[in-house]
Structure 1
């Protein structure tokens, strides 16, 4: 193992959003003067928003620097073969004070052709939800492009959308082409492909401080919507303590639920980095004789070269992610 590598933390990149609130400050202790913090990008290699290491001997280096210097030791041999000096995932916490726009994301093929980008397959883990808050995922009836466009034109889109009431722990897998939105009062942890391509189809007729509506992308969206998707977006998973319980596995990432109530000796058997998002409690992660603490609302990256490590906690809930 490369002795220079250890559990890495990064400075969160906070995003002001028209629909954002203050929970990322009040609940997750993110420091910011922004009035409407909608997103905290925990680990990002999106152009113009590259994460910077916040701990240890590599503090101040960017994720791009790490990729150039450590290559497969950071992300794994197969990942490096596919992605080169590009980190494959974007990791976020999201706070929706108001409803997000109704949106969807293109697949890899469309995103590459139109935007020179990856598609955006993603998942949500609800870690706080106000009473009676919703996620919007998919349609509530069999849908055709013609019927969809008719409702879009008549501003009755919400009549055909599926609203799900949610609570802490609810998990959703959002494939490309699926219409969706996070509802007001919901905070999620989001794991996704590295992409910032979103097609907005309806934004609740909102205007900004200057009276302008946000741009919609309906011409692009109509080709990107998959009208034949089954209603398989709700994720069920085990919560057995002190072991990794798989939640979502797709070609881009695998995420597991890990409730730690003991001292765990862990091994990374994957040809990949490991990411731990702490969604409750706190844990100490020790690798290469270096211990880092991760608390609720924090994220930590274990480079692929680290194969043996320990997690100590009396009750942390972690999302474990690899690519």
Structure 2
């Protein structure tokens, strides 16, 4: 049934830095007030989305990928992307992710992790860590060993609507009071460099991964330049944030009605604000903030109607 949208139930992950914004902003039934991550579209073994209704109801996304490959038409061995919403009620650890080549060798064939963030909301003055000031690996290691974090880390003030591309090898962290939609490779490999000496409810500090983290960090830091492009299609402004070999990520801002041609690939859709309808040859499907779905290959031409903001991604 490639002409029906595939709506997904997210998986929630509790984190030491998590909060309750996923319930307050998206009306999700979260497990606790320390819920940090909504894995909205995920086929990763550490948390798989479930098909919400329709002919594939109850299947995990990874099972659907394996059993119905014609819905995706992809050459990838496994579902390539992972869409999350993160609620940082406290600072995340300073971390870095490996690239594909390093992860294949050192993480049992896992993908590397290049990601990007769309800032959904944040407290005034909220900051992220994006990059560092070390000029060489030796200096980087010396500053890490000495705990010279204020000298080492680059901080950037953010506001809602900002977009950041975070290639593998980039030292980074979300700061307190930020909510983001994250599009990433389907990987769960993170190397923590610094965690503010926090302890969990049992008094234990979280594991650091200094050797691997230092090894994979890009030194000196190379800022990822992104050139946005926008076009108007009917009642929708389409903004392309990034398009490369890892993923294409866009924002669709619909006010009214827009007809779209048949997509050339399967696409992942997340409604980040508003409400409306998706319609194609099979019928009309209501959309509201917090919905996540896939338009499979062969979905056909479709239209969007209402006042909607969506983040769209595909291979």
The residue number in structure 2 matching 1:119 is 112
Alpha-carbon distance in 2 for matches of 1:235, 1:203: 32
Per-residue CA distance 1:268-315 (angstroms, 9 max, x = gap): 342x211111121123112342322232222111011213111111x2
Alpha-carbon distance in 1 for matches of 2:127, 2:262: 36
The residue number in structure 2 matching 1:266 is 260
2:93 to 82, 88, 101: 101
1:212 to 182, 204, 211: 204
Alpha-carbon distance in 2 for matches of 1:50, 1:288: 29
Per the alignment, do residues 276 and 4 of structure 1 end up closer, same or farther by CA in structure 2, a change over 3 Å counting? closer
Q: Once superposed, which parts of structure 1, at least 4 consecutive aligned residues long, lie more than 6 Å away?
A: none
Alpha-carbon distance in 2 for matches of 1:201, 1:26: 31
Alpha-carbon distance in 1 for matches of 2:46, 2:86: 19
Q: How many residues align?
A: 312
RMSD: 1.7
The residue number in structure 2 matching 1:74 is 71
Secondary structure in structure 1 of the residue aligned to 2:39: strand
Alpha-carbon distance in 2 for matches of 1:100, 1:237: 30
List alignment gaps of at least 5 residues for structure 2: none
Alpha-carbon distance in 2 for matches of 1:273, 1:209: 42
1:276 aligns with 2:269: yes
Secondary structure in structure 2 of the residue aligned to 1:262: strand
1:246 aligns with 2:243: no
1:19 aligns with 2:17: yes
**C-alpha contact (below 8 Å) 1:105/1:199 kept by paired residues:** yes
Alpha-carbon distance in 2 for matches of 1:202, 1:128: 25
**C-alpha contact (below 8 Å) 2:134/2:140 kept by paired residues:** no
The residue number in structure 1 matching 2:251 is 257
Alpha-carbon distance in 2 for matches of 1:101, 1:200: 6
Per the alignment, do residues 14 and 74 of structure 1 end up closer, same or farther by CA in structure 2, a change over 3 Å counting? same
Correspondence 1:41-190 to 2 at 5 A: 41-71=39-69, 73-76=70-73, 79=74, 81-83=75-77, 86-115=78-107, 116-139=109-132, 141-190=133-182
Per-residue CA distance 1:179-223 (angstroms, 9 max, x = gap): 000010000000000000001100011001111100000111121
Alpha-carbon distance in 2 for matches of 1:143, 1:74: 47
Q: Give the superposition deviation at 1:69.
A: 2.7
Q: Give the superposition deviation at 1:237.
A: 4.7
Secondary structure in structure 1 of the residue aligned to 2:22: helix
Alpha-carbon distance in 2 for matches of 1:296, 1:64: 24
**C-alpha contact (below 8 Å) 1:199/1:217 kept by paired residues:** yes
Alpha-carbon distance in 1 for matches of 2:240, 2:91: 29
Q: Give the superposition deviation at 1:52.
A: 0.8
Per the alignment, do residues 215 and 123 of structure 1 end up closer, same or farther by CA in structure 2, a change over 3 Å counting? same
| Greater CA drift, 280-289 or 129-138 | 280-289
**C-alpha contact (below 8 Å) 1:173/1:235 kept by paired residues:** no
The residue number in structure 2 matching 1:37 is 35
The residue number in structure 2 matching 1:303 is 296
**C-alpha contact (below 8 Å) 2:121/2:180 kept by paired residues:** yes
Alpha-carbon distance in 2 for matches of 1:150, 1:34: 39
Alpha-carbon distance in 1 for matches of 2:223, 2:139: 18
Q: Quick check: which one's strand share is greater?
A: 2
With structure 2 as the length reference, what TM-score do the two structures score?
0.94
